[in-house]
């Protein structure tokens, strides 16, 4: 019974809300809260960068080793991209039983660009019988 009286005494009385002080200290505490959140975000990002730095350094070294091969492939890749048009116009690749891989255009996709005519192919001088 004593506990019930103590609970009613503590929680039974109406509580009043705190009013913001008129001197503007409430705005300062909000600004301080935002600056603390900003500092926390900066510390989090600095920690992530320090953890990722070794992996990024290794990736940079690996890419510098591959760079000559990529420069050699660049013209062919650009030619392939010109032939393919937009990758969203194609379905996912499909492997057939014989090992062939088909990449079909989606139904309703716009027509692909015209194939370039190679200049270096020799023209036939006489018809060939097969």
Alpha carbon distances (Å) from 50 to 55, 59, 103: 10, 15, 42
What pLDDT shows up at residue 25? 59
Query: What pLDDT digit, counting tens, does each position of 11-64 carry?
Result: 555 555 555 555 555 567 777 777 888 888 899 999 999 999 999 999 988 888
What pLDDT shows up at residue 22? 57
* Consecutive H or E run containing 102: strand 101-102
What pLDDT shows up at residue 101? 95
Contact 89, 103 (CB under 8 A): no
What pLDDT shows up at residue 79? 85
Name residues whose C-beta falls within 8 Å of residue 15's C-beta, 6 or more positions apart in sequence: none
pTM of the model: 0.36
* Spatial CA neighbour of 85 closest among 56, 114, 64, 58: 114
| Cα 6 to chain centroid, rounded | 59
Query: What pLDDT digit, counting tens, does each position of 68-97 carry?
Result: 888 889 988 888 887 878 888 899 999 999
């Amino acid at each position: 019974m004593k506990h019930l009286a103590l609970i009613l005494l503590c929680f039974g009385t109406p509580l009043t809300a705190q009013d913001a002080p008129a001197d503007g200290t409430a705005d300062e505490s909000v600004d301080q809260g935002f600056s603390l959140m900003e500092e926390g975000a900066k510390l989090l990002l600095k920690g992530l960068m320090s953890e990722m730095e070794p992996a990024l350094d290794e990736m940079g070294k690996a890419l510098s080793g591959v760079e000559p091969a990529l420069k050699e492939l660049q013209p062919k890749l650009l030619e392939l991209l010109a032939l393919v048009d937009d990758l969203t116009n194609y379905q996912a690749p499909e492997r057939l039983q014989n090992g062939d891989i088909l990449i079909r255009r989606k139904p309703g996709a716009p027509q692909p660009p015209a194939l370039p005519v190679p200049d270096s192919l020799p023209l036939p001088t006489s018809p060939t019988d097969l």
